[in-house]
């Protein structure tokens, strides 16, 4: 799915209990190649390659893997990707120790750790074909959870800072968010960017989203 010019979602399906679920890695084009946001579960690399191919990309186009956080459905496939590409791995300072295997994962089963080449903090901006892509630290779901904002595309890639359901944008999934109060504060932080399009890793793309109203609903 093309979310905006030069920005894409690469949906991946997996079995969860007795039903099929979907996660949404995404990609942003740059002059040097693709920034891939998250790599899915371990074992999904062929599915990811197929999703990339739907937009005429290959795994070789992935120059940067930006891991929004340490959970296995986001970082579990990183080792598979690195075995097939020379991608630079980017992650937060807060979640890097878990991704590299030096700390226990907060929630997930252990996946193969990978080295993080570049650690980023709030406000770091990448130059992309869709305009500046800003890193926003949104802790709560994990200690070092990241979201990204592309102001020129009017787009928030929220990762797990928010989820979506059939009614639209909702707050963080409390069942999988150890520090809910911090996570709600993070939604408030995202609301300040006033983006009206949001990609949630769980729930997909929400047009005409109102992050501010979502934040207010969490604080009432």
Give the confidence band of 27 by pLDDT, cuts at 50, 70, 90.
very high
Query: DSSP secondary-structure letter at 19?
Result: E
What CATH number is attached to the domain comprising 187? Answer: 3.60.15.10
| Predicted TM-score (pTM) of this structure | 0.97
> 10 Å Cβ neighbour count for 129?
13
pLDDT at 71: 98
Share of the chain above pLDDT 90, in %: 96
pLDDT tens by residue, 33-67: 999 999 999 999 999 999 999 999 999 999 999 99
| Tokens standing for residue 144 | 């070092």
pLDDT at 214: 97
Which residues are registered as beta bridge partners of 117?
A: none
pLDDT at 132: 98
Q: Is the separation of the CB atoms in 195 and 151 below 8 Å? A: yes
> Alpha-carbon distance 4 to 18, whole Å?
34
> Alpha-carbon distance 156 to 198, whole Å?
5
Alpha helices for 76-115 (secondary structure H)? 78-82, 96-99
Residue 49 structural domain: 2-219
Query: How many domains does one find in the chain?
Result: 1
């Amino acid at each position: 799915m093309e979310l905006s010019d030069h920005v894409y979602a690469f949906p991946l399906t997996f079995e969860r209990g007795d039903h099929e679920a979907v996660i949404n890695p995404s990609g942003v084009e740059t002059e040097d190649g693709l920034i891939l946001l998250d790599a899915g579960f371990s074992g999904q690399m062929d599915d990811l390659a197929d999703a990339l191919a739907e937009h005429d990309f290959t795994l070789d186009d992935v120059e940067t893997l930006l891991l929004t956080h340490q959970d296995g459905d986001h970082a579990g496939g990183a080792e598979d990707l690195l075995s097939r590409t020379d991608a630079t791995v980017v992650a937060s300072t807060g979640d890097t120790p878990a991704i590299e295997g030096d700390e226990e994962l907060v929630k997930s089963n252990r996946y193969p750790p990978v080295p993080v080449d570049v650690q980023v903090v709030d406000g770091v901006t990448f130059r992309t074909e869709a305009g500046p892509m800003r890193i926003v630290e949104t802790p709560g779901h994990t200690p070092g959870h990241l979201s990204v904002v592309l102001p020129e595309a009017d787009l928030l890639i929220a990762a797990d800072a928010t989820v979506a359901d059939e009614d639209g944008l909702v707050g963080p999934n409390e069942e999988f968010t150890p520090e809910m109060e911090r996570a709600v504060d993070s939604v408030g932080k995202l609301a300040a960017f006033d983006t009206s399009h949001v990609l949630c890793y769980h729930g997909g793309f929400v047009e005409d989203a109102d992050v501010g109203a979502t934040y207010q609903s969490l604080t009432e």
